[in-house]
Structure 1
Amino acid sequence: MYVKLLAILGSVMVLLNTSSTTEGEPIVGGVPTRYGQIGRNITLSCNNTGDGAAEWRLNDIKIMEAGDVELSGSHLTLLSANPSREGQYSCHNQETGNAYSKVSLLLGYPPGKPQVSCWSVRYPLNVVCSWKLENQTYLPTETKVTYSYGVEYVEGCSSEGTLQGNCTIEDIKLFSKIPYTVKVTATNPLGFRSTNKQFIVEKIIKPDPPTDVTVSAIPNQPKKLLLQWKPPATWPDPEIFLLKYIIKYWQERSNRPRMIEVSDQTNYTLRGLRSRALYFVEVAAKDFVDNGNSSDWSPTVSARLWSS
């Protein structure tokens, strides 16, 4: 599909500054498709070989000149075309009604710049890059995703007809200063846009949040809470690739949370708290040697301090 669209762009598509339309390949019944951009002027020409003025119809209904339609001889111009103007256009002999030519008009937008982000959630196993287009095109749009490591190779990662998706890079090179480059190209009959995203693996480490976070009162300890959690389920080997954790906690009706950082442990006792108060807690994970970014926060948990 991607190759087909490039062929359309290279050999069939004619971009007009004034009309912003392109011709595509024939559809059912031999009627060609013309692609136009919403909000642009679009001019259609009748194949009446010099027979003068023609009658234009949209879905077999006669078109009359109006504020957004201009008729000039054998030409029809749609001013600031909107989606209601999509359909099958035909031009006819004014006397006999015989059709000279037909064209199916589809309206939309060229692709916007793809937005690309890359993270290593399962370090050191892989990197996942996600992408999405910044706009809805309303036209058949193909995306092709490739990646390269330095100049050694270019690998295809994904080729889809959707507006967003993911690309997983396996067997990543660790502790290298040579960047990876991910290229996302979106193509449709009105044009194409590309984005290149470069990264060093260790700089884009971002674990998922810790799981099974709980906080509970400690019997006979009116100023302490016990906080427990588990490493992210997606983190491959927390005993070899260590994690540290950031604890955020705050008292009910307070907008000033406190932060604590702990290393390579999955429990912590919060101390010096206010008796009988209700506290809220969240936990985030980060690579032990501070590479990359912290995870998102875990779901909030809460507990009230022990009271006799």
Structure 2
Amino acid sequence: MFCCPQPLIFFLLAAAAAPRRPCGPLGLSQDTVLGRPGANITLRCWDEGPGNVTVSWRAEERGRSQRLPAGNALPLHRLRHEDAGTYSCFVGSHRLRSLRLLVQEPPETPRVSCYRRSHDHDVLCEWPLRAKPSPGTRAMLWVKQRFTAENATEQRCRFFSKAQKFVCRVKVPRGTEDTKPFLVSTCVSNGAGSAAGEDKIITLNGVLRPDPPLNVTVTALEKAPQRLRVNWSYPLSWDHRFYWLRFQVRYRPEPALTFSEVDQVTTTWLDIHDAWRGLRHVVQVRAQEEFGHGAWSEWSQEAVGAPWTDPKDLNSDMGFFSSQFPMEDGTYGLTLPPELFAEDGADGTGGPIMEASARSTASPYAFLVAGGSLVLGIALCIGIVLRCRQLWRMGGWRGAKPEGEGQHVLVPLGSPSPPLSDTPLLSPPCSPAPGGLHVTSLDYFFSGQ
């Protein structure tokens, strides 16, 4: 037969025997009248009395007195919260009765969430409201260790009108184990009713939720058109000398609606390597306890930055429109100007898409090579023209020989010429011997002799 250990039985019995905190409406005195906002109500000075007596009414609210219509019955229509106060009836100067009017509606059921900003902060439990609570509404919170018979600690909750929520602070004694479970109960009540929230079981580790990171900045990296550097700092409520955080970064170019995310960042900076050229990017960061305990913080405020752009590509007359598409190596293609995507003109005729505007980015060495080639070509043409004119003047161009006349055969004179490698390309000018040939002159080949 299975037998439970005695300490476990004790804890279970103690937990089962622990009564739940009562949560009921606030007690109302005999002279208190409750009315709902927007309802009609009638106040009576007495139930039975002489009919010939004139009864007057006065409303006393915050030290002010206001006269009201006379009569034993005082009707009030469409009650507002401002109508709450003390109403007194008089006969002459004698006060007969005072009634306290409460204009309230039952409170909303609390839906509590608890969190802790760091390991050395108290636990905060809060819940939002759809509407401002009625004056006099009271909110309470009880905390006790689970499976123990000790009494629960009681905390009064405070309403913050700007945030439209109740907030309760639970003090954590030093040395409390982070994994020990606690039972949290809530109750909201006023004269019109009460509402109890569901009991919650929490641990100190489980409710960790840091504040969002601070000082998020986005800067460009020089000569890196697809990179961005993101920096941030720890929230002031988190002591990073003893406990660390891990971060998540999300970013998107401004035309896009979806974010890209980077997880498991343990530093306070990140380099983005796939930014879109020429576009502003929106970046946000959030934090969580380094071992994954608790929940992520809220996202930080948005920070905006654009990658580095080559000054040669900047044009003051037109902006940049990114039409980049991912390549196989993970990079992006060309950035095109917005004129390529312009719509037709307003008159429907279709205006010009883009004006011809380009700037040469060629290297200066290319200009030197092209210019030198052009000069050499012009010089060669001029030399050929001058040589042709010289031959024309010397009568070099003559008619063809009569048919049947034999051709002269050139016979070399003197010793054989040296090899080509020993012969200078240009022979020095000299006076030819009588009857000799101008070997170095081209006139022979054009004279027909």
The answer, yes or no, to whether TM exceeds 0.5 is: yes
Cα distance between partner residues in 2 of 1:201 and 1:221: 45
In structure 2, the residue matched to 1:62 is 69
Report Cα offsets for 1:205-264 as digits up to 9, x if no partner.
Answer: 211111222221111222211112222221233x65432211111112111221111332
Query: Quick check: 54-63 or 149-158, which moved more?
Result: 54-63
Contact 1:280 1:303 (C-alpha < 8 Å) held by counterparts: yes
Letter matched to residue 250 of structure 1: R
Residue in 1 aligned with 2:375? Answer: none
Change (3 A) 1:302 1:168: same
Tell me the TM-score normalised to structure 2 length.
0.51
Cα contact 1:142–1:161 (8 A) shared by 2: no
- Alignment partner for residue 211 of structure 2, among 203, 208, 219? 208
SS in 1 for 2:205: helix
* Structure 2 counterpart of 1:301, one-letter code: A
Q: Which runs of 5+ in 2 are unaligned?
A: 1-22, 59-66, 311-449
Counterpart Cα distance in 2 of 1:204 and 1:271: 35
CA deviations 1:190-215 (Å, max 9, x no partner) are: 33333245123333221111122222
Q: How far apart in 2 are the matches of 1:265 and 1:13?
A: 62
- Aligned position for 1:36: 35
Compute the displacement of 1:155 (Å).
1.4
Hey, what does 2:115 align to over in structure 1?
A: 119
Amino acid at match of 2:140: K
Q: Name the CA shift for 1:87/1:54 in 2 (closer, same or farther; >3 Å).
A: farther
Corresponding residue of 1:252: 254
State the secondary structure of the residue aligned to 1:114: coil
The structure richer in strand per residue is: 1
Contact 1:114 1:134 survives alignment (8 Å): no
Cross-structure match for 1:28: none
Q: 1:250 to 1:145 in 2, by over 3 A?
A: same
Matched with 2:178 is: 174
Distance in structure 1 (CA, Å) of the matches to 2:93 and 2:75: 21
Question: Does 206-215 or 157-166 show the bigger shift?
Answer: 157-166
Contact 2:250 2:260 in 1 (8 A): yes
Taking the aligned partners of 1:124 and 1:211, their CA distance within structure 2 comes to 19
Q: Which residue identity does 1:38 align to in structure 2?
A: P
Counting only pairs closer than 5 Å after superposition, residues 83-232 of structure 1 correspond to structure 2 as 83=81, 86=84, 89-90=87-88, 100-123=96-119, 125-131=121-127, 133-152=129-148, 153=150, 154-158=152-156, 164-171=166-173, 172-176=176-180, 178=181, 180-198=182-200, 199-232=202-235
Q: What is the distance in 1 between the residues matched to 2:120 and 2:93? A: 70
Matches of 1:45 and 1:220, distance apart in 2: 86
1:167 CA drift (Å):
0.9
Query: Which has the greater radius of gyration?
Result: 2
Does the C-alpha gap of structure 1 residues 53 and 167 become closer, same or farther in structure 2, counting only changes over 3 Å?
farther
Alignment: residue pair count = 271
1:92 positional shift? 6.4
Paired residues of 1:42 and 1:79 also in contact (CA < 8 A): yes
Once the two structures are TM-superposed, the CA of residue 7 in structure 1 deviates from its matched residue by 12
Q: 1 or 2 for the larger relative contact order (CA 8 Å, sep ≥6)?
A: 1
SS of residue matched to 2:126: strand
In the alignment, the residues of structure 2 paired with residue 47 and residue 216 of structure 1 have an alpha-carbon distance, to the nearest angstrom, of 78
Structure 2 counterpart of 1:286, from 288, 312, 317: 288
Deviation at residue 104 of structure 1 after TM alignment: 4.1
Distance 1:128 1:227 in 2: 31
Paired position in structure 2 for 1:3: none
Whole-Å Cα distance in 1 between the matches of residues 108 and 24 of structure 2?
20
| Equivalent-residue separation in structure 2 for 1:246 and 1:7 (angstroms) | 45
In 2: Cα distance, 1:54 partner to 1:43 partner = 19
Code of the residue aligned with 1:281 in structure 2: it is V
Shift in CA distance, 8/185, structure 1 to aligned 2, threshold 3 Å: closer
1:204 partner SS: coil
CA–CA distance in structure 2, aligned partners of residues 270 and 58 of structure 1: 75
C-alpha distance in structure 1 between counterparts of 2:203 and 2:219, whole Å: 40
CA distance in 1, matches of 2:293, 2:109: 29
More helix by share: 2
Residues 1:75 and 1:284: Cα distance change in structure 2 (over 3 Å) = same
Equivalent position amino acid for 1:174 in 2? D
Deviations 1:110-144 (A, max 9, x none): 33323432112113643222345554344323333
- Tell me the secondary structure at the aligned position of residue 146 of structure 1: strand
